[in-house]
Homo-oligomer: A and B are copies of this chain.
Amino acid sequence: MQKKKAPPRRRSGCPLNASVEMLGDRWSLLILRDMMLHGYQTFNEFLHSGEKIATNILADRLRRLESYGIISSQQDPADGRKMIYALTAKGMDLRPVLTEMVLWAARHEATGNQSLVRQMCTAKEELLAEAGKRWESKQGSLNS
């Protein structure tokens, strides 16, 4: 029995191509950053993030990320009209990708958020482990 889902007709079998077909746009990784580092979980929180994503694009990206199994959604128990979004294990596994993209841009471009960059440079592994722990404890409380 095969554990992994058969790929949707992809342009090639290369794993890098699979990644860019899922994540190769200007928004998906920013939404994942907001979940990973800022703990955002609602549509409104993503909408008011620094890059000012448009509502239709945000709705589309959330739908796509969920269809790929990178995030999950559930109704907010406190307000049935709201959805709460969370990273899946597959989504959390994207931490090294995000980290390397941050470090690359910080090395080669004039960017802000230097405190995050310094943190990542000096304590990359620790930072990743910490985000992982926060996620695990959240999973625990969701399932309890």
Residues of A within 8 A of B (CB): 2, 4-7, 11-27, 29-30, 33, 50-52, 69, 90, 93-94, 96-113, 116-117
Contact = CB atoms under 8 A, between A and B. Distances in A.
Contacts of A107: 93
A102 B4 contact: no
Copies in the complex: 2
Contacts of A117: 15
Of listed A11, A14, A29, residue having the most chain B CB within 10 A: A14
Contacts of A101: 15-16, 19-20, 23, 97
A42 to B, nearest CB: 20
Of listed A15, A22, A99, residue having the most chain B CB within 10 A: A15
20 contacts: A2-B110, A5-B110, A13-B50, A14-B30, A15-B104, A15-B105, A15-B111, A15-B112, A15-B117, A16-B98, A16-B105, A18-B111, A19-B29, A19-B105, A23-B101, A24-B27, A24-B29, A69-B108, A93-B104, A96-B104
